[in-house]
Amino acid sequence: MTGLAREYGEGLYELARDEDLRQMIHEQLNDLSALLKREPQFVRLLCSRAVERAERLRIIDETFVNHVHPYVSNFMKLLVEKEHFDAFLLCCEWFHQRYNEDFRIVEAVVTSAVPLNEDERSALRVKLAQLSGRQVKLIEAVDPSVIGGVRVEMDGKRYDNTIQDRLGRLRQSLVHGM
């Protein structure tokens, strides 16, 4: 994370906190981040010095004026004015980290062979909340090579209860046990 992204992201976060708008702005930044990751040419356009700054600001106004809070669109315009729009996604990441810290949310990437059903999700969320002492947001991934069980990555740790892992440990014990 760059110092610039931290500084600008923190500024927006403090404003949102002071105005009690953290949740709404967090959701809007998440939506914008997803959109801009799918449409990287839009980021290139807003970063391009070949397009007049006034035109880039107009594009932000016309595209987002009725879709995001004015603080978000003004933040985007500030980055364009300072020629730092390339840091927008990193600013969003900083905002996201601060939001999760303040609301005691931990993200857990859960990989399974097939999508989890709601009962499995709920039970896993409860177990991980007990383990972490925080509210858990599951980010699910499907990987058929897992075969069965789940693998969880949370707080820099990996919890592996997959058949693939158990077979690997069994193989190791048989090799080293002989």
Last residue of a domain, one of 51, 85, 101: 101
Of 14-23, 37-46, 52-61, 150-159, least confident by mean pLDDT is: 150-159
Q: Kindly report, residue by residue over 99-128, the tens digit of the pLDDT.
A: 999 999 999 999 998 999 999 999 999 999
Last residue of a domain, one of 63, 79, 101: 101
Same domain flag for 108 and 90? no
Label residue 30 exposed, middle or buried (CB < 10 Å: 0-12, 13-18, 19+).
middle
Same domain flag for 17 and 88? yes
**Length, in residues, of the chain:** 178
Domain range enclosing 85: 3-101
pLDDT of residue 36: 95
Same domain flag for 73 and 124? no
pLDDT of residue 1: 58
- Do residues 108 and 19 make contact, with C-beta atoms less than 8 angstroms apart? no
pTM for this one? Answer: 0.80
Q: How many domains does the chain have?
A: 2
Same domain flag for 113 and 29? no
Residues 6+ apart with CB under 8 A from 35: 42
Same domain flag for 58 and 93? yes
Same domain flag for 152 and 95? no
3-state helix, strand, coil in the chain (%, to 5): 65, 15, 20
Q: Kindly report, residue by residue over 49-77, the tens digit of the pLDDT.
A: 999 999 999 999 999 988 999 999 999 99
